[in-house]
Structure 1
């Protein structure tokens, strides 16, 4: 692979048209050709963005639990069920990957999912599970207003994201850290923290460290040496645990994404974000299962469209500090007060790591890094 970082630059001319636009400019047969249909499951699924009667059909979705599930239920799912006369069965029991694999692509465990890119691409490598972004764009009208980076996975559409950053205690650290490499300064020995190897935040941290200290994000030896050089450090299992350790002062600098840091700032916890120069992003991305039955697939497309609605993304920004992918979404004060903007300039240089490469090398990375962490 090339050692060059993948830069995401908005280019609205590359964003696909929706199904209604296709039908206005060509025959139905032409629209079907654009939809790239190869399977009987897909042939009768065409949606123009208008509400329809779901006939009481239940669609199964996988998405995060807890407060996240409560927010999604009250802010989009309940209204969606009324509008489309359907039911949404919500599975928050992560991991979902083995459930998809157990059912197989042609009998999908879920009709729609929301998750991070590493899991989506891992499943995409395992089989033909998802509609492509081109197929989704042709049937999801709100996709036409999304920034180009939202389609970077090729297997779904990203609706929300945040930048990776170091979280650091402003009352305990002086002078302030200045760069990604500050994490390795001697003064932070056993006061810095990253995540277990199964956490996607560690995976991005590893590739960013490899790029910082080696020839590129695929420089395995540079990544391993960076992990060795960071020891001793604390190892967290998830972001909530990282927040707790930072609040207690057990961790003075740690790997985090900006939304969690913004939340702590608004709770008057003395922390600040140090955004990484490489600008990797953590994404929330929706997939639609290719082999869902027609009605379930059509409902999944409609629910995805609701998640791409600018008004919904503004609410999600207020609740989770997520940046929107819809260029028309207004940012809540919680984000604008942190200097966040929803403009083309704000997206300049954002980086999505090469997850295909990471997954191809995951076994070696996990085995080696686990030895470093436990040694």
Structure 2
């Protein structure tokens, strides 16, 4: 098996952000309406009843974001937000094409964003977004690591573990301890937590996050594992004692602890993060693009991020926002020192190698 190494594209927090819109600068469609310059400086304006098409998660997430953000936004800007929660976004973007975007603003997990970004000139660059989203000036550097969107919320990856199953984990390799044999919880190959765990495992057992062979061997050594498709299923397995340690994310795992289950979390010494990232479509019409800037700006406001963190325990990327009390009780802070070691896995690398990784892991997991 080959291993693709891309040392110039590592997306560590301290690394450089990939920017660029060269394709757009050479577009043959420069006279179209959507090529007009659009700027936004944070003011409220009358959109004249315009419709803003967005793609974002549904269910309780949609209900909360509408109540905490979108309803007032529609009133203030005299617009209608058309919300689509029928994920995945990739086939919708590529089917409709870059010049006729299905969404004006869209929320992503980074693997799907990187896949879509590599398929065409769909999105404004980070540089263009930062110039028109005033609240972006207060965001930590890793908020811009994708090069194609702005990350507004994130969670560190953790181990969730049973506190009644012996000593707590004390290193990333604790997952492989003999006492956890057949009581380890991980995910199928379509779950992004498995993708991040794969790259963190490669970094721990190999040369770096690109060392696929080291990760394959380590995950084979971790078998047998309990494989789940979704994080909420994993929480149920933890609560019932079917697993004693599991790959998870901070906020969701802490929610089970707060319900009184004998569960706690251990943050990986390698500090990758799960992110929520919004893009703005390059070829949206001028009014929709301006509205998208405005909605992005309000998404990054401390007021919304504080409310969102209180509801879902996601951390904010805006340095001016607060940490929700539930996380503050765990010692979480929103300071430069506190975020210093976080890094964003190289999702371009993962997308480029996804087929090989999926096939090998399915073989290892017996799926």
- Separation in 1, partners of 2:159, 2:170: 10
- Residues 105 and 281 of structure 2 are in contact (CA less than 8 Å); yes or no, is this contact kept in structure 1? yes
1: CA distance, partners of 2:277 / 2:260: 30
Paired residue for 1:316? 308
Structure 1 position 252 matched with structure 2 position 252: no
Query: Secondary structure at the residue paired with 2:41?
Result: coil
Unaligned 5+ runs, structure 2: 1-5
Q: Deviations over 1:12-38 (max 9, x none)?
A: xx9x9xxxxxxxxxxxxxxxxxx9796
Counterpart-to-counterpart distance in 2, 1:205 and 1:3: 21
Matched, 1:350 2:342: yes
Counterpart of 2:118 in 1: which secondary structure?
A: helix
For residues 164-188 of structure 1, give each alpha carbon's deviation from its aligned partner in whole angstroms, at most 9, with x where no partner exists: 01100112x1122111111111221
The aligned counterpart of 1:2 is 7
What is the SS of the residue equivalent to 2:254? helix
Q: Which residue of 2 aligns with 1:359?
A: 351
User: Aligned equivalents of 2:66 and 2:244: distance in 1?
Assistant: 36
Q: Which residue matches 1:108?
A: 101
Do 1:130 and 1:290's aligned partners in 2 also have CA atoms closer than 8 Å? yes
| 1:42 Cα offset (Å) | 3.4
The 2-side partners of 1:44 and 1:154 are apart by: 20
The alignment of Structure 1 onto Structure 2 pairs a total of residues equal to 353
Q: Answer whether contact 1:197 1:369 (CA < 8 A) is retained.
A: yes
What is the alpha-carbon distance in structure 1 between the residues aligned to residue 10 and residue 126 of structure 2? 22
Decide whether aligned partners of structure 1 residues 4 and 158 sit closer, same or farther in structure 2, where only a CA change above 3 A counts.
closer
Gaps of 5+ in 1: 17-34
Question: Which residue of structure 2 lines up, in the alignment, with residue 164 of structure 1?
Answer: 157
Q: What is the aligned partner in structure 1 of residue 83 from structure 2?
A: 90
Matches of 2:219 and 2:190, distance apart in 1: 15
Q: Is contact 2:9–2:346 with CA below 8 Å preserved after alignment?
A: no
Distance of 2:352 and 2:15 partners within structure 1: 29
What's the CA shift string for 1:129-165, capped at 9, x where partnerless? Answer: 1101100001111111111111111101011111001
Deviation of the 1:189 alpha carbon: 1.6
Query: What is residue 76 of structure 1 aligned with on the other side?
Result: 69
Rounded Cα–Cα distance in structure 2 between residues aligned with 1:264 and 1:37? 51
- Distance change in 2, residues 1:200/1:44 (3 Å): same
- Any conservation in 2 of the 1:7–1:348 contact (CA below 8 Å)? no
Report the aligned-residue RMSD.
2.0
Shift of 1:323: 0.8
- The answer as to 2:145 corresponding to 1:152 is yes
| Cross-structure match for 2:217 | 225
CA distance in 2, matches of 1:85, 1:106: 25
| Number of the residue aligned with 1:141 | 134
Q: Does residue 1:242 correspond to 2:234, yes or no?
A: yes
Alignment match, 2:44: 51
**SS where residue 211 of structure 1 aligns?**
helix
Q: 1:24 — aligned with what?
A: none
CA, structure 1 residues 42+341, in 2 after alignment: closer, same or farther (shift >3 Å)? farther
CA distance in 2, matches of 1:239, 1:3: 32
Give the 3-state SS of the residue equivalent to 1:317 in structure 2.
helix
**TM-superposed deviation, 1:44:** 3.4
Contact 2:11–2:145 under 8 Å retained in 1 = no
Deviations 1:191-245 (A, max 9, x none): 1111111111110100111111111111111111112111111111111111111
Q: Displacement, 1:4?
A: 10
Match of 2:274 among 282, 287, 301: 282
TM-score by length of 2: 0.92
Aligned equivalent of 1:67: 60
Q: Kindly report which structure 2 residues correspond to 1:175-254, keeping only aligned pairs within 5 A, or say none.
A: 175-254=167-246
Matched, 1:306 2:298: yes
Match of 1:20 in 2: none
Question: Which of 288, 308, 329 matches 1:296?
Answer: 288
What is the TM-score with the length of structure 1 in the denominator?
A: 0.90
